[in-house]
Each structure stands twice: as C-alpha cells, then as structure tokens.
C-alpha cells in the first residue's frame, strides 16, 4: 500500500512539558489505523497535529509526499469526527450533513444526491428531516460520520468517537465503522484507549505511552508478540515474570527451565516473560513443574478467572473449567505460549538516528551489541 501520511520525528511541547518525543509513523491508503494508549500518552495530540488543529514543535507532517505542517486545517483533505459529535442542534439531519457542501456553494441537486447516498451508507436513509436532538447517541454519531464523509476526504480522523455510547452500542458501532471504512475505501485514523476497540477494528495498531510509540503491528502481532512490558500489560491481561534467556529457545523462571520459541537474545540475558491467562492450562500437580494453590475463583460469564498462588507469585488463568479454592494444581503451557521481551529500561533509553533507521538498525540490535561488550561477572 502507498503511504498517504508520514510523520517524521514529530515533537510537541506545551510550556515545559514535552508530550510527543520524536514520533515516526507511516499511514497507508485505505488503512484502518488506530492510535492506542492510556490518557496522556499523546495520541490525541498526534491526531490534532495531523488534522491541523495543533502545530508540531518540530518535525514534518507529509500528505501525499508534501509537507502540510503550515497548511490550515480547512485546506487539508482530512476531516475529523469528535467524541461530542459537534452537530448543529438548530439543523435537521439533512442540513447537518449538507453543511460543508453548502459552504462550498455546490449545486442543490448535487448536494441532495450526495447527502442521501451518505445517509443510506450509514444506515439513516429517510432520516433527513428528523431533529438531531431527538436521535439516539448512536444515530447522532452516524450523522457526524456522514457529515465528515460527504466532503469526500482522503483521510478521516476519529477522536474516541465511541466514548459516549453504552457497551451494546459501542460493539454495534465497531462493526459499522469498519464496514463504512471498507465501503468508502479511504484511510481511517482512530484514537482510543480501549484495547478491545483497537483489536477488533484495526488493520494496524500503534501503541503509545508517554509521548513515544511502543509498538506498531497488526492486532494479532500486538496481542501475541508484545515487544515490551508496557505493551504486554496494556493489551489484555498478562502474567509478566522476570526471567533469564539461557540461550536460544530456552528460558528460565521460577526455578525451572522451559523450552520457548524466542531467539536472538544474548545468553543469560534478563528478560520479561509474558504468558497470557488463556494460554495456561490447569492440570494435576504431578503433571507439571509449576505447582500452586487455587487462591480465588471469579465467574466472568463465559469463563472463570482463577488466581493460583505458587512459590514465587500469583498466576492468573482464564478457563472454562471450575477449580475449587484451596485445591493444589499444576500449571502448564506450550513453548508457543511463552513470550520473552527485553527489559524496557534498556530499550526506552535508545533513540535511533535517521541514518540508523534508514539502515534498518533496531533498538534491540544496539542493546545486543552493548550487552556483548559487558563481561559477565
């Protein structure tokens, strides 16, 4: 896919606080990309800079290869949908959607055709004459999306648009948004702090924290192969254990060595071991190296959340099977269920130059070289 937006070494300072610390990101045509992270991580600031509502302190914003950093928001081929929808209460549905087209003084017949087609696409055919203040939250959001799309932007930015909806409507609109994006065939850049939204809707997920990008990948890659402790903890629930990478395909933690699928680490390298709760099986104690006592059992509707206390820590297990509190059990997992990630404290202190990035050098390459220079005690 061709790049439509490129962010190059983007920084943003508010007074003496730096909220973006060198953001480098490529966004492609027809892609559904989500900026995901906790409050204050810089995702909304990044979106506002793309939209033209904020100006970066340094760096470039390229659109189709052209720097648009100094181009005002209204001249960019980008539209934005906000969490509050920003609908005009004195206008009906049709006039809200047609607002931008009327500003452009387009022919009335063309406006009517475009608006009716867009309302049909978002599931609001025959709603044109209705009062927007009497619509449900989900319907108001559809109006806001129709109004943004009717201008035929190349990119649609969505700033936590599902935040004001209840749980059932949120799930419905997740499906609808992905469907609409495929139908119109343009790029969507979506901002959320909700991991489920990001994983269920996106082609690409960008995980952010404290003004930096932690990981970029498909939802499956982000969930199954987190690159550091933050991503592992933020995307779903995880058991995160301090361990040592003995050698390729062998990791040690909690007094035992386990076969894994990770490689490329220096021998005896300290790592964080990530095991998802759904990847742990509870078995008879004599069939496992790790043993513990069931500490608590919580019914979650479709599964039980079970906490098992072992010699060194509590493990969380998600399972459809019930195990009584106080029962001694064993814990097993396959090599594919073990994910080793290097300590964040090392990776987050490395800032790659443009030259290094162009040559394909990664932070892990640098860490490996540095560690190999240090003699083991």
Q: Is 317 in contact with 277 (CB distance < 8 Å)?
A: yes
Q: Kindly report the CATH number assigned to the domain that includes residue 40.
A: 3.40.50.300
Residues 113 and 251 in one domain: no
Proportion of the chain above pLDDT 90, given as a percent: 58
- Number of neighbouring beta carbons within 10 Å of residue 212: 17
Residue scoring higher pLDDT (330 or 106): 330
Integer Cα distance of 310 and 294 in angstroms = 9
Whole-structure pTM value: 0.79
Calculate the dihedral angle through the C-alpha atoms of 224, 226, 231, 233, rounding to the nearest 10 degrees.
60
Residues 328 and 355 in one domain: no
The residue-averaged pLDDT of 334-351 equals 69
Residues 102 and 238 in one domain: no
Integer Cα distance of 137 and 127 in angstroms = 14
List 224's β-bridge partners, or say none.
none
Specify the range with the lowest mean pLDDT, choosing from 68-72, 202-206, 275-279, 373-377: 373-377
Residues 242 and 201 in one domain: no
Number of domains in the chain: 3
Which of 224, 253, 271 is the C-terminal boundary of a domain?
Answer: 224
Token digits of residue 238: 């995880």
Q: What's the pLDDT tens digit per position in 253-285?
A: 999 999 999 988 889 999 999 999 999 999 999
pLDDT reading at 57 higher than 80 = yes
Residues 180 and 283 in one domain: no
Q: Which band of pLDDT confidence, cut at 50, 70 and 90, is reported for residue 74?
A: confident
Residues 206 and 296 in one domain: no
Q: Is 288 in contact with 256 (CB distance < 8 Å)?
A: no
Give the helix ranges, DSSP H, for 104-189. 108-121, 137-149, 167-184
Q: Which band of pLDDT confidence, cut at 50, 70 and 90, is reported for residue 225?
A: confident
Residues 260 and 297 in one domain: yes
Residues 335 and 355 in one domain: no
Average confidence score pLDDT of the chain: 88
pLDDT in the model for residue 167: 78
- Number of neighbouring beta carbons within 10 Å of residue 286: 7
Integer Cα distance of 49 and 24 in angstroms = 13
Specify the range with the lowest mean pLDDT, choosing from 53-57, 222-226, 328-332: 222-226
Q: What's the pLDDT tens digit per position in 102-112?
A: 888 889 999 99
List 304's β-bridge partners, or say none.
299, 319
pLDDT in the model for residue 370: 60
pLDDT in the model for residue 377: 39
Residues 26 and 82 in one domain: yes
Which of 224, 243, 275 is the C-terminal boundary of a domain?
Answer: 224
Integer Cα distance of 144 and 100 in angstroms = 12
Domain that holds residue 59: 3-224
Q: Is 93 in contact with 132 (CB distance < 8 Å)?
A: yes
Integer Cα distance of 39 and 221 in angstroms = 23
Integer Cα distance of 102 and 108 in angstroms = 8
* CA angle centred on 153, ends 151 and 159, rounded to 5°: 100
pLDDT in the model for residue 358: 65
Q: Buried (b) or exposed (e) across 239-265, using 16+ Cβ within 10 A?
A: bbbebbbbeeebbebbeeebebebeeb
Which of 185, 202, 224 is the C-terminal boundary of a domain?
Answer: 224
pLDDT in the model for residue 351: 63
Residues 86 and 202 in one domain: yes
Strand stretches in the chain, DSSP E: 3-14, 17-28, 32-36, 58-63, 66-67, 78-81, 155-159, 187-192, 204-209, 212-217, 239-247, 250-253, 256-259, 269-275, 281-283, 290-299, 304-309, 314-319, 328-332, 339-342
Residues 360 and 272 in one domain: no
pLDDT reading at 227 higher than 80 = yes
The residue-averaged pLDDT of 161-181 equals 81
Residues 206 and 220 in one domain: yes
Residue scoring higher pLDDT (365 or 162): 162
User: The tokens 């970066």 sit on which residue?
Assistant: 56
């Amino acid at each position: 896919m061709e790049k439509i937006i490129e962010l190059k070494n983007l920084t943003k300072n508010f007074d003496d606080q730096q909220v973006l610390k060198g953001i480098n990101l490529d966004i492609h045509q027809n892609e559904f990309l989500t900026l995901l992270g906790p409050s204050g991580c810089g995702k909304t600031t990044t979106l506002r800079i793309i939209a033209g509502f904020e100006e970066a302190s340094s760096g470039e914003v390229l659109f189709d290869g052209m720097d648009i950093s100094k181009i005002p928001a209204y001249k960019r081929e980008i539209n934005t949908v906000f969490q509050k929808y920003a609908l005009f209460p004195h206008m009906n549905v049709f006039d809200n959607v047609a607002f931008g087209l009327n500003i452009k003084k387009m022919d009335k017949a063309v406006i009517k055709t475009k608006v009716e087609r867009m309302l049909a696409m978002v599931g609001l055919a025959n709603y044109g004459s209705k009062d927007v203040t009497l619509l449900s939250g989900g319907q108001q959001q559809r109006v806001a999306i129709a109004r943004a799309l009717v201008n035929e932007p190349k990119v649609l930015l969505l700033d936590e648009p599902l935040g004001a909806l209840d749980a059932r409507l949120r799930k419905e609109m997740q499906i609808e948004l992905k469907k609409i994006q495929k139908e119109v065939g343009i790029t969507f850049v979506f901002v959320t702090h909700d991991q489920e939204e990001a994983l269920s809707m996106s082609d690409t997920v960008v995980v952010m924290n404290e003004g930096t990008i932690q990981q970029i990948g498909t939802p499956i890659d982000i969930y199954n192969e987190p690159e550091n402790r933050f991503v592992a903890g933020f995307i779903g629930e995880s058991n995160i254990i301090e361990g040592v990478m003995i050698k390729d395909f062998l990791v040690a933690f909690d007094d035992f060595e386990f076969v894994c699928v990770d490689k490329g680490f220096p021998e005896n390298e300290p790592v964080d071991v990530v095991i998802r709760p759904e990847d742990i099986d509870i078995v008879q104690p004599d069939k496992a190296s790790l043993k513990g006592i069931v500490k608590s059992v919580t019914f979650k509707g479709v599964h039980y959340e079970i906490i098992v206390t072992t010699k060194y820590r509590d493990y969380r297990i998600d399972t459809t099977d019930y195990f009584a509190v106080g029962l001694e059990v064993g814990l097993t997992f396959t090599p594919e269920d073990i994910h080793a990630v290097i300590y964040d404290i090392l990776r987050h202190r490395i800032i790659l130059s443009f030259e290094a990035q162009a040559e394909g050098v990664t932070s892990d390459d640098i860490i490996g070289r540095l560690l190999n220079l240090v003699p083991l005690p």
